[in-house]
Amino acid sequence: MNIVETDRAYVWHPFTQERTAPPPLPVVRASGASLFLEDGRELLDMACSWWVNVHGHSHPKIAAAIARQAETMEHVIFAGFTHEPAARLAESIVNALPRPLARVFYSDNGSTAVEVALKMAWQYWRNTGQPGRDQFLAFSGGYHGDTFGAMAVGRTSGYYAPFEGLMCQVRHVPFVSTWLGDDACEEREAKALAEIDAVLDANADRCAAFLAEPLVQGASGMNMCRPEFLRAVVERMQARGIPVILDEVMTGFGRTGTLFALEQAGVTPDLVCLSKGISGGFLPLAATVANTRIYEAFLGDDFHNAFAHGHSFTANPLGCAAGVASFALFEEEGTLARIKRINAANRAWLAEVARLPGVGRPRALGSIAAITLGRQESDYHASVGAAVKAACFKQGLLIRPMGNVVYLMPPACISQEELARAQHGLTQVLRETARLYAS
Ligand SMILES: Cc1ncc(COP(=O)(O)O)c(C=O)c1O
């Protein structure tokens, strides 16, 4: 059997209706911004392979760091032991975040980074004698992963109907999306903040934590808010003593133009969740960073107050070595300056493309550019995305629309010529498919 036949016989793919999905495409090589298929075709990866890749595929420096580490020590238990890549990466992360964020707890993926943060916040209140804190607050529309706690906080993303009965208590508060040329967002923000105040007046002393994706809600349709709005919400939470968890799983490591999105909002959360780009997108790795107040609430003379959580592959040395190498590349390659150039090119393109019929809500932050097609609310179930995706594929572009939201998110290494090719190809596709969404 060839690769696809073998895959079809034995594999179950994520987020896929296995009966109707077309056969998966075998990828044999990846380099820079490109993926190379078994049949010789090349695709520009405009989704960073589920938002993980940072500097480009198969970057030789990250590949070499992983190879060196694999030859030295591939993995070791992380309870009672440590190693250089884990310690060095934690140091770099802490130095890049505002104080008092100071303690790095490693896990394997974005969902576990969130799960760990929720559990830390929950146990923090039990360790400090306030067990009445029995619910979480989160933005409507947020997506935080597919484990149980992460599903509960991301419940309004609409993915989890079969699991409804199994989720912990979460109260959702409004998120205010905005886009280029949107003049009315301050009014919408004021209304949302008044609603949030009312929720806090009634419930603040029951809230264990507030969780949010900072500046961009990824999976709910690359919806972006103003830094001022995020800051106003975070300040309200912290004024009431509610710990704030920022989920930087997608936004972290340069995606929004700064190393972390929280920098643009000028806020210091109590817990931060990191994954995806933490290893440059090479290996599964995650970190939950806690402030000293939370960390110290777990200290004691016996195991009683300790955080009883861990994974077999916690702080895997290969992933951490990739993370250390990726951090160095931010300096060596001027990654944030590259992302700034991508942003400028995307804004110029959005100004053009937003004039096409049915194309609306142009928005851009860091390396992300997004538009909404047809009905101007993000609609994950809109079928237009599949048609746009298929037509882009014929143009040599990997894009992954979310319903009627189409976005570009290239790795930082993409050349100006490659980016222009992707933008031009997508514009062509939008002209061809306009009859599906433009009335
Ligand atoms: C903001 C955010 N949090 C958490 C996750 C979950 O990460 P993972 O898929 O690695 O579990 C994602 C994944 O897309 C995400 O975008």
Segment 1-32, tens digit of pLDDT: 999 999 999 999 999 999 999 999 999 999 99
| 147 CA: nearest ligand 1 atom | 11
| 218 CA: nearest ligand 1 atom | 16
**One domain, residues 170 and 45:** no
Is the confidence at residue 201, as pLDDT, over 90? yes
Torsion, CA 310, CA 316, CA 319, CA 322, rounded to 10: 130
How do 397-398 and 42-45 pair as beta strands?
A: parallel
> Going by CA atoms, what residue is nearest to atom 10 of ligand 1?
110
Ligand 1 centroid–CA 286 distance in Å is: 10
Q: What is the mean pLDDT of residues 390-403?
A: 96
Longest dimension (CA), the chain: 68
The pLDDT value recorded for residue 156 is 86
| pLDDT tens-digit map of 34-44 | 999 999 999 99
Q: What is the mean pLDDT of residues 123-141?
A: 97
Q: CB of 209 within 8 A of CB of 242?
A: yes
Is the confidence at residue 379, as pLDDT, over 90? no
Output Rg (C-alpha) for the chain, integer angstroms: 22
| 51 CA: nearest ligand 1 atom | 14
The pLDDT value recorded for residue 383 is 85
Tokens of 302: 């016996």
**One domain, residues 180 and 90:** yes
Ligand 1 centroid–CA 435 distance in Å is: 33
**One domain, residues 16 and 115:** no
The pLDDT value recorded for residue 67 is 98
pLDDT, mean over the chain:
97
Q: Which helix (H) or strand (E) holds 81?
A: none
**One domain, residues 93 and 214:** yes
The residue whose two tokens read 């000028």 is: 266
Is the confidence at residue 258, as pLDDT, over 90? yes
The pLDDT value recorded for residue 376 is 72
> Going by CA atoms, what residue is nearest to atom 13 of ligand 1?
145
- Name the burial class of residue 129, with classes exposed (0-12), middle (13-18) and buried (19+) by CB atoms within 10 angstroms of its CB: exposed
Ligand 1 centroid–CA 114 distance in Å is: 8
What is the C-alpha to C-alpha distance for residues 250 and 55, in angstroms, rounded to an integer?
15
CA 44, 143, 273, 265 dihedral sign is positive
Ligand 1 centroid–CA 273 distance in Å is: 10
Q: CB of 378 within 8 A of CB of 220?
A: yes
**One domain, residues 194 and 125:** yes
**One domain, residues 167 and 24:** no
Ligand 1 centroid–CA 214 distance in Å is: 13
> Going by CA atoms, what residue is nearest to atom 4 of ligand 1?
144
**One domain, residues 281 and 373:** no
Report helix, strand or coil for 32.
Answer: strand
Q: Could you say which of 274, 295, 330 is where a domain stops?
A: 330
Report helix, strand or coil for 266.
Answer: coil
The pLDDT value recorded for residue 426 is 98
> Going by CA atoms, what residue is nearest to atom 2 of ligand 1?
144
Report helix, strand or coil for 405.
Answer: strand
Look up the CATH number of the domain holding residue 398.
Answer: 3.90.1150.10
Tokens of 191: 């209304």
| pLDDT tens-digit map of 65-119 | 999 999 999 999 999 999 999 999 999 999 999 999 999 999 999 999 999 999 9
Report helix, strand or coil for 281.
Answer: coil
Q: Which domain holds residue 98?
A: 63-330
| pLDDT tens-digit map of 211-256 | 999 999 999 999 999 999 999 999 999 999 999 999 999 999 999 9
Ligand 1 centroid–CA 190 distance in Å is: 29
**Domains: count for the chain:** 2
**One domain, residues 312 and 179:** yes
Ligand 1 centroid–CA 50 distance in Å is: 9
Ligand 1 centroid–CA 89 distance in Å is: 20
What is the C-alpha to C-alpha distance for residues 44 and 36, in angstroms, rounded to an integer?
9
Residues 78-85: contacts with CB under 8 Å, at least 24 apart: 78/106, 78/310, 78/314, 78/315, 79/310, 79/314, 82/315, 83/315, 83/317, 83/320, 85/315, 85/317, 85/320, 85/321, 85/323, 85/324
Q: Could you say which of 289, 308, 330 is where a domain stops?
A: 330
What is the C-alpha to C-alpha distance for residues 227 and 235, in angstroms, rounded to an integer?
12
Residue 214 DSSP class: S
Ligand 1 centroid–CA 83 distance in Å is: 27
How do 368-373 and 359-365 pair as beta strands?
A: antiparallel
159-188 b/e (C-beta count within 10 Å ≥ 16 → b)? bbeeeeeeebebebbbbbbbbeebeebeeb
Look up the CATH number of the domain holding residue 125.
Answer: 3.40.640.10
The pLDDT value recorded for residue 256 is 98
| 146 CA: nearest ligand 1 atom | 11
Confidence of residue 382 (pLDDT cuts 50, 70, 90): confident
Q: Could you give the angle at the alpha carbon of 363 between the alpha carbons of 390 and 415, nearest 5°?
A: 65
Ligand 1 pocket list (CB less than 6 A):
109-111, 114, 143-145, 213, 218-219, 247, 249-250, 275
With CA atoms as reference, report the closest residue to 247 among 340, 156, 145, 159.
Answer: 145
Pocket test for ligand 1, best of 112, 118, 143, 405 (most atoms within 8 A of CB): 143
The residue whose two tokens read 């992360």 is: 93
| 142 CA: nearest ligand 1 atom | 1
**One domain, residues 51 and 68:** no
> Going by CA atoms, what residue is nearest to atom 8 of ligand 1?
110
CA distances from 362 to 85, 145, 225, 392, 402 (A): 41, 26, 13, 19, 15
Q: Could you say which of 330, 362, 379 is where a domain stops?
A: 330
**One domain, residues 251 and 170:** yes
Is the confidence at residue 380, as pLDDT, over 80? no
What is the C-alpha to C-alpha distance for residues 360 and 354, in angstroms, rounded to an integer?
6
**One domain, residues 282 and 381:** no
**One domain, residues 353 and 269:** no
Q: Which helix (H) or strand (E) holds 264?
A: helix 262-265
| pLDDT tens-digit map of 283-314 | 999 999 999 999 999 999 999 999 999 999 99
Q: Can you say whether residue 179 is alpha, beta or left, with left for phi > 0 and alpha for psi between -120 and 50 degrees?
A: beta
